[in-house]
A and B are shown apart, each in its own frame.
Chain A
Amino acid sequence: MLHVTYLIILLPLVGFAVQLVAGRRLGDPAAGGVATAFIGASFLVSVGVYLDLLTVNAPVRSYTQNLWTWIPVDSLQVHARLFVDPLSMTMVLFITGISTLIHLYSIGYMKGDRDYSKFFLYMNLFVASMLILVLGSNLLVTFVGWEGVGTCSYWLVSFWFTKESAASAGKKAFVYNRIGDVGFLLAIFLVFERIHSLEYTTIFSHLDQIGSGYITAICLLLLVGVMGKSAQIPLFPWLADAMEGPTPVSALIHAATMVTAGVYLLCRINPLLHASSSAALTVAIVGGVTAFVAATIACAQQDIKKVLAYSTVSQLGYMFLAIGCGAYTAAIFLMVAHAFFKGLLFLGAGSAIHGLHDEQDLKRMGNLRKYMPLTWITFGIGWLAIAAVPPLSGFWAKGDVLENTWAAHPALWGLGLLTALLTAYYMSRLTGLAFFGGDRWAAEVPIDVDTDMPDAKHAEGPIPEPHESPRIMIIPLWILAFFAAFAGLLAVSNNHLSLSAWIDPVFGSSLYHDHLSTAALWTLGITDAVIALVGVFIGLRLWMNVAERPQLEVQFLRHSWYINEFYDTIFGRPSARLAAFSADVIDPKVIDGGVNGVATLVRRSGALIRRTQTGYVRNYVLGIVLGTVLVLAFMLTRMWWG
């Protein structure tokens, strides 16, 4: 089935077209069903392609499908070409798989929305863009998908655009991504300037022609792009605001698509990173610091979705850390595991929000395990998985990252371990607040009214008793919970089915091997497990029955290290001042002044010259005579002295 690879992208695109033409007529819920069917079909094709790819017998399994020549201009020959190898295949499988589940869930979650079909229209296009991104065989095709997910995320984040906050959150996501895109574009230009080709395989086979300085520059420029897309320091604040979108969108952005694009891209260019140790180290440091900073912020957030958002930033930081160490397989492993448990957590949180009539404030939740038992069990699995409690998937994935970091950069390992403790803590805090404790949602007024942090979304009016979500929302939760629990088997098994045997050949010599002894591995593993359990214990102990601990929720963390205020001060306000200056000074003085000045000049000089037009014939005649005399005098002088 390798030759129908293009169908993987085409099906969601057709779904998009169908929604475009007939979405409104299909209506609620048929539009959702159709959209889900197209993504599901794409998933089935992916599975077929995967099974065929397994039969390819080569050191590095791969398949290239040439669709058409996109840009045939002299030395710039860009092909619309798809590239399937274990790396892109892994991405495709979990993108289509998880997207199918999220679409299914959305059928229930978006029920009754005014723009029901429009939601699925964007979602289908989003998935299609992401698939273009991972399947592209050159930087430019990848860039098309890259921009596609950026645009779709803008539409989806500001889906409820009548709300001021949602509209500006969409803009924020777009602008941050745009800053990153500049880096990506410059990297593309640089690559083309050096080797006149944008194909990944050509780039990797011509590394020596690029030159080591250029390789570092290209890697760092791509890193800028990736920082924007994958929400790393310093371009991460947009992801928390992106929570303004409907919860399935958050799940889609955080679990399957969009933010993983950066991780994928860095894995894709692994030979470049391997050739530039300074760039790789930069990636590792950015990742480690981001993981830690985001985890501290997540400890003090009050909006359930914001906690999860910063948790995503933190987990992405882990993936970058792994990539920086050269442990690409570990990064992919964590990405897959994270896709399952973060998808699960978001959909579970969405279920809780749905059950509480759109209440997102953790302080107004509580005791939901009694009212929403199915959500609680599945969410609980996701919670323990992300907290890295053995034997769930998170433990193995994070363990892989941490052991590689330990061997490569011990200092960053310390940061990673601290982050692991924080992760277990803030997730337990979230779980304790939402699912344990008293029925705080029943209180008449919001408990925490001292919100100088105006970001927790509240339900309108008093909340009736929570109810369990419909079955169409619970089924995806169960499927994701299953994978969140058992995805660890991917790495544990040592046979040819393991993730490592499948994907290691892609990275070849760029892959880092830690060569740790069995004893060291056990020690590290036990350390991880102990840290996770300690974090869970502290988190639950502190937050199970008490909702207010101001000393643990310092303003500094509640305000995300004041990063937004910082950007506002150094970029926002000066830009606003510059704009005001332009409006008040440059526009009226320089622009208008220039235009009016020309007009005044013409008027004044006209006023001078009009005096010669007396209207008296004799004056004109005098002019003629004087002119004639002058001409004659000139000619005579030429005759006498010429």
Chain B
Amino acid sequence: MTISADWYLGLSVVLFSIGALGVMIRRNVLVMFMCVELMLNAANLTFVTFARQLHDIGGQVLVFFVLVVAAAEVVVGLGLVVAIFRRRANATADDLHLMKG
């Protein structure tokens, strides 16, 4: 018995929503980071689902691109997080509002 594509897409929606909500609600920069990763992987899951359903290898190829971009992003992002931790005790996003107009 094969599990239908709807379930995969449903899981993807759930993951994406958790990620988006997490970015919006949580204040810890590390957690927000993980939420962003969650959203990316929700998207990956969608890609893979459609690739399998439509028999198109393009979707799976795109996942690799996303993974590469996500890895690069993590490098930059974690670098920022480390820099922030060096300057202050915790890493709360709301404390970093220097760009306030």
Asked if A71 is at the interface of the complex by the 8 Å CB criterion, the answer is: no
The answer to whether A615 and B24 touch across the interface, beta carbons within 8 angstroms, is no
Determine the chain B residues whose CB is within 8 A of the CB of A622 once the complex forms.
Answer: 24
Asked if B32 is at the interface of the complex by the 8 Å CB criterion, the answer is: yes
Interface centre among B32, B97, B98 (most CB of A within 10 A): B97
The answer to whether A625 and B100 touch across the interface, beta carbons within 8 angstroms, is no
Determine the chain A residues whose CB is within 8 A of the CB of B6 once the complex forms.
Answer: none
The answer to whether B97 and A618 touch across the interface, beta carbons within 8 angstroms, is no
Asked if B23 is at the interface of the complex by the 8 Å CB criterion, the answer is: yes
The answer to whether B101 and A613 touch across the interface, beta carbons within 8 angstroms, is yes
A615 to B25, CA, bound (A): 15
Determine the chain A residues whose CB is within 8 A of the CB of B93 once the complex forms.
Answer: 616-618
Partner of A613, one of B23, B96, B100: B100
Interface 1/0 per residue, B61-101 and A, CB below 8 Å: 00000000000000000000000000000000110111111
Asked if B43 is at the interface of the complex by the 8 Å CB criterion, the answer is: no
A617 to B84, CA, bound (A): 15
A612 to B96, CA, bound (A): 16
Determine the chain B residues whose CB is within 8 A of the CB of A614 once the complex forms.
Answer: 97, 100-101
Determine the chain B residues whose CB is within 8 A of the CB of A625 once the complex forms.
Answer: 20, 24
Q: From known contacts A610-B101, A611-B101, infer whether A617 and B20 are also in contact, taking CB-CB under 8 Å.
A: no
A615 to B100, CA, bound (A): 4
Report the minimal beta-carbon distance from B83 to chain A, rounded to whole angstroms.
16
A613 to B99, CA, bound (A): 7
Report the minimal beta-carbon distance from A195 to chain B, rounded to whole angstroms.
70
Asked if A621 is at the interface of the complex by the 8 Å CB criterion, the answer is: yes
Interface centre among A610, A613, A614, A616 (most CB of B within 10 A): A616
Please name 15 further chain A to chain B contacts, defined as beta carbons within 8 Å, in addition to the given A611-B101, A614-B97, A618-B94, sorted by A numbering: A612-B101, A613-B100, A613-B101, A614-B101, A615-B96, A615-B97, A616-B94, A617-B96, A618-B23, A618-B24, A618-B27, A621-B20, A621-B24, A622-B24, A625-B20
Interfacial residues of chain A within 601-615, with CB under 8 A of chain B in the complex: 609-615
At the interface, is chain A mostly helix, strand, loop or mixed?
helix
Interface residues of A (CB under 8 A from B): 609-618, 621-622, 625
Interface 1/0 per residue, B23-49 and A, CB below 8 Å: 111010000100000000000000000
A613 to B100, CA, bound (A): 5
A609 to B94, CA, bound (A): 20
Determine the chain B residues whose CB is within 8 A of the CB of A618 once the complex forms.
Answer: 23-25, 27, 93-94
A224 to B54, CA, bound (A): 93
* Cβ-closest chain B residue relative to A611: B101
A622 to B97, CA, bound (A): 16
Report the minimal beta-carbon distance from A632 to chain B, rounded to whole angstroms.
13
15 contacts between A and B (CB under 8 A): A610-B101, A613-B99, A613-B100, A613-B101, A614-B97, A614-B100, A615-B101, A616-B93, A616-B97, A617-B93, A618-B25, A618-B94, A622-B24, A625-B20, A625-B24
A617 to B26, CA, bound (A): 10
Report the minimal beta-carbon distance from A608 to chain B, rounded to whole angstroms.
11
Interface centre among A609, A615, A625 (most CB of B within 10 A): A615
* Cβ-closest chain B residue relative to A619: B24
Determine the chain A residues whose CB is within 8 A of the CB of B23 once the complex forms.
Answer: 617-618, 621
A505 to B15, CA, bound (A): 112
The answer to whether A617 and B101 touch across the interface, beta carbons within 8 angstroms, is no
A610 to B100, CA, bound (A): 8
A617 to B97, CA, bound (A): 8
Determine the chain B residues whose CB is within 8 A of the CB of A621 once the complex forms.
Answer: 20, 23-24
Interfacial residues of chain B within 1-26, with CB under 8 A of chain A in the complex: 20, 23-25
A560 to B27, CA, bound (A): 93
Report the minimal beta-carbon distance from B78 to chain A, rounded to whole angstroms.
16
A402 to B100, CA, bound (A): 94
* Cβ-closest chain A residue relative to B35: A621
Report the minimal beta-carbon distance from B22 to chain A, rounded to whole angstroms.
10
* Cβ-closest chain B residue relative to A617: B93
A637 to B20, CA, bound (A): 24
Determine the chain B residues whose CB is within 8 A of the CB of A617 once the complex forms.
Answer: 23, 32, 93, 96
Determine the chain A residues whose CB is within 8 A of the CB of B32 once the complex forms.
Answer: 617
Determine the chain B residues whose CB is within 8 A of the CB of A611 once the complex forms.
Answer: 101
A611 to B93, CA, bound (A): 19
A611 to B100, CA, bound (A): 8
Determine the chain B residues whose CB is within 8 A of the CB of A610 once the complex forms.
Answer: 101
A610 to B99, CA, bound (A): 11
